[in-house]
Amino acid sequence: MAEIGHGGKEIKERIMKPDEAKEKIKGLAQVPINKQIANEIIDISYGWFTPLEGFMNKKQVDSVVKDMKLPDGTLWPIPIMLDLSDKEIADYGVENGKSVVLTYQGNPMALLEVEDIFEVDRTEMCQSVFGTTEEKHPGCHRIYNCKDKFVGGKITLLKEPTINEPFGPYFLPPLKMREVIKERGWDRSVAHQTRNIPHTGHEWLMKGAFFQTHNDLPVEKPNVGVVVNAIIGEKRVKDYIDEAIILCQNELQNAGYFGPHNHLTSLTFWDMRYAGPKEAIFHAILRVNLGITHHMFGRDHAGVGDYYGGYEAHHLLESVRDQLDITPVYSMNWLYCPVCAEITSEGLCNHKDQQQKFSGTLIRSIVTDGVKPPRLIIRPEVFDRAMESANKYGAQNSPFVNEEYLETRTPVFDIEPL
């Protein structure tokens, strides 16, 4: 049976058979690409970006910028573009109607059927996608720093990537994820977007989303799953290292705070654009394609600085809800209340003066000190796993990204020779 993704389109993997790939790329120019593009090739090829079949052409980009839609009317908030310099286009002979091989780590990764080479109004694009044209917004910065031109065309992956330890079990592309969800027997599933190791506030975000998603289902046979979907992409100094994020999220299940019957950890390759409300819609589309039925959105989802109002993403999602085959679950903040002596939700108990927010700075200092925090703040097993990941994968035994980690880490995936 066909698996249907975003916009009512079938999810199709665009991956060649090994013998076919060798034959198809003979005599074609080989164009090196960076990690962001490699991540997005994987997203396109496995169907995370359904209905896209490649990098956008000018007509698609213009339509997304102007109307937040693809030319056929399908909701789409963020342009997906491959940039090349004028020199690369000339040197490699990139031309409309020709195919080229995109190489990563020195090996052929994907075939690109070039159909359009174009420039865009970058200021207009930033205003539309990010609601600002300021260079200091990381999404605008990325657009302004793209190379001279954009190249649109269909992509086909030449060979599946090798997913390196410890990420292998968590690489669940759309068709595989849908199989796993069926195996688990979940009638409903709720996506939790994360780039963090979980403290108990996050744990309760997930538990709250579980209850909200369960809602009117009969309770005799619990069949709702929380799908933790970590965004793995560009790392900056002070982010958590990818290994710690994945392993600590999964530790909540290992240690029994959840179980395989209601929890699954997974990843999606994507460099955050911090587009706030529009990125919330984009994240919803990724999870529609993964076959997830509900999606949790907390305060300031995918925001940065003070560019977006706390609940602006919720409002934009509501305005396009009929075009998204996923149910948004809007979450309140979770706090620690010393009077209740437990985790509580914003506005639930009335000890307003005593409630303590989970501050990123506080959690960071706890983890940096390496002294086991109270279990009501971070579960001991999660803390131990964070320290173990720091020793095993971090630089200078730190679970936070530093320059040395960026230079010496093992890539999440490799492209092997054909």
Site for Zn ion, rule CB under 5 A: 337, 339-340, 349, 351
| Nearer of residues 87 and 351 to Zn ion, judged by Cβ | 351
Q: Cβ 34 to Zn ion, closest distance in Å?
A: 49
CA 26 to chain centre: 34
**Residue 205 beta carbon to Zn ion: minimum distance, rounded to whole angstroms:** 18
- Give the nearest distance from C-beta 343 to Zn ion in angstroms: 10
Amino acid identity, position 302: A
Closest C-alpha to 155, from 284, 45, 27: 45
Write down the least CB distance from residue 353 to Zn ion, Å.
10
Q: Which is nearer to Zn ion, 350 or 368 (CB)?
A: 350
The minimum distance between CB 332 and Zn ion, in angstroms, equals 14
Closest separation in Å from C-beta 383 to Zn ion: 24
Residue closer to Zn ion by CB (options 17, 351) is 351
Q: Which is nearer to Zn ion, 292 or 337 (CB)?
A: 337
Range 370-399 burial, b when 16+ CB lie within 10 A, else e: eeebeeebbbebbbebbbbbbeebbbeebb
Residues in CB range of 371: below 8 A, 6 or more apart = none
* Residue whose CB is less far from Zn ion, 127 or 345: 345
Question: How many Cβ atoms sit within 10 Å of the Cβ of residue 182?
Answer: 10
Joined together, the tokens standing for residue 255 give 């240690």
The token pair at 40 is 């997005």
H or E segment and range at residue 389: helix 380-393
CB of 334 to Zn ion, least distance (A): 12
As measured in angstroms, the least distance from the Cβ of 300 to Zn ion is 24
Query: C-beta of 336: minimal distance to Zn ion in Å?
Result: 9
For Zn ion, give the closer residue by CB, 60 or 200.
200
User: Measuring CA to CA, which residue among 38, 63, 267 is closest to residue 155?
Assistant: 38
Q: How many CB atoms lie within 10 A of CB 347?
A: 11
If the CB atoms of residues 201 and 328 are measured against Zn ion, the closer one turns out to be 201
Phi, psi of 263 (to 5 degrees): -155, 140
Strand spans (E) along 82-184: 83-84, 99-104, 107-118, 149-157, 162-163
Distance, in Å, from the CA atom of 63 to the CA atom of 152, rounded to the nearest integer, reads 14
Nearer to Zn ion, 268 or 355 (CB): 355
Q: What is the dihedral of CA 208, 211, 214, 218, to 10 degrees?
A: 170
CA-CA distance, 337 to 316, in Å (whole number)? 32
Under DSSP, the state recorded for 345 is: E
Please give the structure tokens belonging to residue 243.
């290994």
Q: Which is nearer to Zn ion, 175 or 349 (CB)?
A: 349
